[in-house]
Amino acid sequence: MIDDLLDQMTLEEQVALLAGADFWTTVAVERLGIPKIKVTDGPNGARGGGSLVGGVKSACFPAAIGIGASWNPELVREMGVALAEEAKTKSARVLLAPTVNIHRSGLNGRNFECYSEDPMLTSALAVAYIEGVQSQGIAATIKHFIANDSEVERQTMSSDLDERTLREIYLPPFEAAVKQAGVWAIMSSYNRLNGVWTSENHWLLTELLREEWGYDGIVMSDWFGSHTTEASVIGGLDLEMPGPTRDRGDKLVAAVREGRVPAKTVKAAARRILLLLERVGAFADPSLDEERAVDRPEHRALIRKLGAVGMVLLKNDGILPLDKA
């Protein structure tokens, strides 16, 4: 089916798939019945595509740093299943999570969104989370690839590190997500890696991720994290987000026509977008319903349980053991 669609698509239609339509949705190609899909944040809830203030209500699960303290992959898998169900109430097919950046510094303002300073613990929980989400036909999006471990200057800085450090500490959660969980989507980070933007880093996105690890899913940019036309497409970035496009569209069509970007590279990226649509069932059911707030007692109970198992007693001032009376 996918190859048949690709053969019928014009260059312009293939290029259109490689950038978002708006802040939360991809582009549809109505002529060929290719639907658009919605994505939604995030790691501890599915908030939908409304305003940050006053949108449709969502269940709020414990933050990842608390989940990390649980050391409980089975419970995290249950959380993934529940979050997929929450995403469906927002008519989203892709959940922009989990976040698996390493706690390199205690000063990082988004450590709460990541599991741990331990790459092995992070890997185990990420795999469980992804398996839970994707078991329900919702795509997980592991992020931010790679070395996005500081909020200070995160959109301009370069994370400079040798390959051994990268492979031993920062890459394991992503590698496990690809090889063990079969994750369907990956989000690049804002920063540079050794001087090259991650969103156009050929070694990272193509040589390592696709050729060495065998990844067949999509790579999307973090929001407004794409910087170029030619370098990002050739580097391995499939989807520029959000839309409407800034770097692709007519610019990319011209780059292909002029021989600066191979047509086969665009076609391969479009194929991966179509594969994602197939994996999340968008061809079978292209509907995009109104967002709903569904209060599920079983999700409330799971949230309560996750909060309890993640609690850590740092100092016992007569609190434990609890008085049974």
Residue 60 reports pLDDT greater than 90: yes
Query: For residue range 189-202, what is the model confidence (pLDDT) as tens digits?
Result: 999 999 999 999 99
Give tens-digit pLDDT for 31-51.
999 999 999 998 999 988 876
Task: Give the pLDDT mean for 150-167.
Answer: 94
For the chain, give the mean pLDDT. 96
pLDDT at 51: 64
Is pLDDT of 54 > 80?
no
Which residue reads 């292209």 in tokens?
286
In the chain, domain spans = 2-305
Please give the Cα distance from 227 to 263 (Å, whole number): 20
C-alpha–C-alpha distance, residues 203 and 120, integer Å? 24
The H or E element that residue 188 is part of is strand 185-188
What's the pLDDT tens digit per position in 94-121?
Answer: 999 999 999 999 889 899 999 999 999 9
Residue 184 has what pLDDT?
99
Q: What are phi and psi of 112, to 5 degrees?
A: -60, -25
Percent of the chain at pLDDT above 90?
A: 90
Q: What is the largest CA-CA distance in the chain?
A: 80
* 323, pLDDT greater than 90: no
Q: Is the pLDDT of residue 126 over 70?
A: yes
Per residue in 128-139, pLDDT (tens digit) is 999 999 999 999
Catalytic residue positions, numbered: 222
List the one residue out of 188, 256, 240 whose CA is nearest residue 17.
240
The pTM (predicted TM-score) of the whole model is 0.95
Which residues have C-beta within 8 Å of that of residue 153, sequence separation ≥ 6?
none
- Please state which of the ranges 35-49, 79-93, 198-212, 256-270 shows the lowest mean pLDDT: 35-49
CB atoms under 10 Å from CB of 139, counted, come to 25
The Cα 258–Cα 253 span in angstroms is: 9
Per-residue pLDDT band at 221 (split at 50, 70, 90): very high
Instruction: Give the class (CATH, top level) of 2-305.
Output: alpha beta
pLDDT greater than 80 at residue 53:
no
Place of tokens 């990226």: 269
pLDDT at residue 77, as a whole number:
99
